Structure 1
Amino acid sequence: MKKFDMSKFKLRKVTIDEIDDRMLLINLYATQAVTLIIGLIWIFFQKGNPILLFSAPKDFSFLYWGAGLAAAVLLVDLAVSRFVPDEVNDDGGVNDRIFKNRAWWHILLLSFVVAVCEETLFRGGIQATIGPYWTSIIFAAIHVRYLKHWIPTGLVFSISYGLGWIYEYTDTLWTPIVAHFLIDAIMGFIIRFRRE
């Protein structure tokens, strides 16, 4: 039996350009699966019920709140991208790599998966324990690609706080899921179909 030699094991920083498309998608789906599992475990230890968390809302007002927040976020984001230099908003090219050559249906699928997984953990799990402010700080911190610049970090924090607020106001997890989905999908379509 061969013994594993830890002295030969080396970690190195990998840039987004060194990862092929298949590995990028594997990483994306794997991190979302881990996020969902942690969220469900968190909810379980809070003695919550994930089935109740995903129960159907009483009316359709959650759609209006989700779409309204998404529209506000997109307007602010477009204004920032128009008046702020590109290097200040740089995420290292991750979003371009994820969305630029993706089929429209895959953009919708990715956006839905990310919205459900992240909102389950952050709004459904963490926010119930520490509230929307500290949840938003953690949410901004895990989006590490934005931490090099304060404007995108501030935007991610603000978006997260907005998602937390509409979750508490509407009392359904589907509201932040709808908002998160619309934000990601529309920004994905903008990246995919924009002209240089």
Structure 2
Amino acid sequence: MKKKFDIRKIKIRKVKVDEIDDRMLLINLYATQVLTLIIGIIWLLFQHQNLLAVMAPPRSLDAVWWGLGLAAAVVAIDLLISRWVPEDASDDGGVNDRIFRSRAVWHIAVISLVVAICEELLFRGAIQHAIGPYWTSIVFAAIHVRYLRHWIPTGLVFSISYGLGFIYEESGTLWAPIIAHFAIDFIMGLIIRFRRES
């Protein structure tokens, strides 16, 4: 006899990052980025923005300098914070450590690029276009829920997002925040990877 599906028997429980195996962690990471990309594209279409125009390559190297400049400032501030602030005050629940600690360098680069393109298309390309950099940064910080337990990483994520919004407006191209986002994630991923190895 076939058992009937009963929705009342579904149980939801909070899962810690250590309870997820590496394969499932990567599936979740890439699935959320695909979802972010889809939402971003749909939002752009509802705003009657041209996706090709939004993603058009920059006409000058200014976007690279804006992106790398912001990334250098963020990494420097993050390293200073990690030097003087106790680790438990900036803990993200071990998510970044699990994502990057045993990855090959090429995979850290791929993850960083995928996250940068998907998140910047949604947050800077679509959401910021609708509500501006300040409110976009509040949404961006809230989406990064793993940081909300501590005010230092929450403030840092908000500030980074505002900086990404600022360089988007100053450079006039989405590639400036994409470059910055990629460089921040890639450098911090490498730091986690090689710090754990040593």
| Shared fold (TM-score, shorter chain, > 0.5) | yes
Match of residue 56 from structure 1:
57
Match of residue 47 from structure 2:
46
1:112 is the counterpart of 2:113: yes
CA distance in 1, matches of 2:9, 2:105: 43
Matching of residues 1-196 of structure 1 within 5 Å: 2-194=3-195
Structure 1 segments unaligned to the other structure (5+ residues): none
- Could you say what secondary structure the match of 1:105 adopts? helix
CA distance in 2, matches of 1:45, 1:132: 19
Q: How far apart are residue 2 of structure 1 and its match?
A: 4.2
Q: How far apart are residue 189 of structure 1 and its match?
A: 0.1
What TM-score does the superposition give when structure 2 sets the normalisation length?
0.97
- Deviations for 1:95-120, whole angstroms, at most 9, x for unmatched residues? 00000000000000000000000000
AA aligned to 1:156 is V
- Could you say what secondary structure the match of 1:178 adopts? helix
Q: How far apart are residue 19 of structure 1 and its match?
A: 0.1
- Could you say what secondary structure the match of 1:59 adopts? coil
CA distance in 2, matches of 1:124, 1:160: 13
Displacement over 6 Å in runs of 4+: none
AA aligned to 2:80 is A
Q: How far apart are residue 3 of structure 1 and its match?
A: 2.2
- Deviations for 1:50-104, whole angstroms, at most 9, x for unmatched residues? 1111111111111011000000000000000001000001000000000000000
CA distance in 2, matches of 1:111, 1:90: 20
Count of matched residue pairs: 196
What TM-score does the superposition give when structure 1 sets the normalisation length?
0.98
AA aligned to 2:30 is Y
Structure 2 segments unaligned to the other structure (5+ residues): none
- Deviations for 1:9-45, whole angstroms, at most 9, x for unmatched residues? 1001100010000000000000000000000000000
AA aligned to 1:106 is H
Q: Give the superposed CA RMSD.
A: 0.9
CA distance in 2, matches of 1:66, 1:152: 21
- Could you say what secondary structure the match of 2:12 adopts? coil
CA distance in 1, matches of 2:158, 2:168: 15
AA aligned to 1:40 is I
